[in-house]
Amino acid sequence: MTTSSRTGVRGAHGTTDLTRRGVLAGGLGAVLAGALAACGSTSGAGSAASSPSPSVSSPAASATPSASASAEATSQALTAQESAQDPEAAWTEGHSESEPSGEAGVETALRTGVHEGYDRVVVQTSGTGTIGWFADVVDEASTQGKGDPLSLEGSHLIRVYGRGTQMPMTEQDQQIDYDGPALVNAGGTALKQVYLDRTFEDQFQLVLGTESTQYRVFTLSEPSRLVIDVRQP
């Protein structure tokens, strides 16, 4: 900086003028001081601009727990009446079906429970009629409509179509419509996971991930419910 100052003075006059050199040196000093102050402010602004960066990554990190929480969802517990029911329906490893009758409704609840000798899943609807069903042990299953493949815990898959239901088209139906998770852990010896595929073309689909191929299906009324038991191995 001293060399540049001298070059500027000599280039203008060719001689050394101490007075003018002093003035120029003072002026250059002020310019340099201003430049340094500007550099300092720029650096401070850069630091301030970079300070929000840690908060940018926070939302991405918080997405993982919510995803894992939904994968670990469990259904509601059976009611006392549902737990006490011991029907005379026969166990089967093949096809089972029954026709629906009466007024249709929307799905309003999904519940599971563990009993001595079997595990149970219940789908409740708002209808006053009797839910029909169409059930089989299958090698693979997919969602209704889109046909996306379904993969559940367990060695076997039992697929049950609940028949005679409807989509929530009215405001009243939308208020009582089931809004829980589609995939739940059942926590049973025979029944591991349950996937509820909502009503499409007057039927819903239940896919059960199980450790057994023996099951039975029956209905309960007031309210209208479809019940599937899976026999413990």
164-217 pLDDT, tens digit per residue, is: 999 999 999 999 999 999 999 999 999 999 999 999 999 999 999 999 999 999
pLDDT at position 87 is: 85
Q: Look at residue 19 and tell me whether its pLDDT is greater than 90.
A: no
Give the domain range for residue 160: 76-231
Which of 12, 34, 51 terminates a domain? The answer is 51
The first and second tokens of residue 118, run together, are: 């079997």
CATH of residue 202's domain is 2.60.40.3500
**Residue 85: enclosing H or E segment and its boundaries?**
none
CB 162 within 8 A of CB 204: yes
Q: Look at residue 24 and tell me whether its pLDDT is greater than 60.
A: no
Q: What is the number of other CB atoms lying within 10 angstroms of the CB of residue 85?
A: 16
Peptide bond connecting 233 to the previous residue in cis, omega within 30 degrees of 0: no
pLDDT band at 76 (very low <50, low <70, confident <90, very high): confident
Nearest to 135 by CA among 202, 209, 210, 215: 215
pTM: 0.68
**85 in the same domain as 18:** no
Q: Tell me, yes or no, whether 101 lies in a domain.
A: yes
Whole-angstrom Cα distance, residue 94 to residue 71? 30
Nearest to 160 by CA among 189, 187, 131, 181: 131
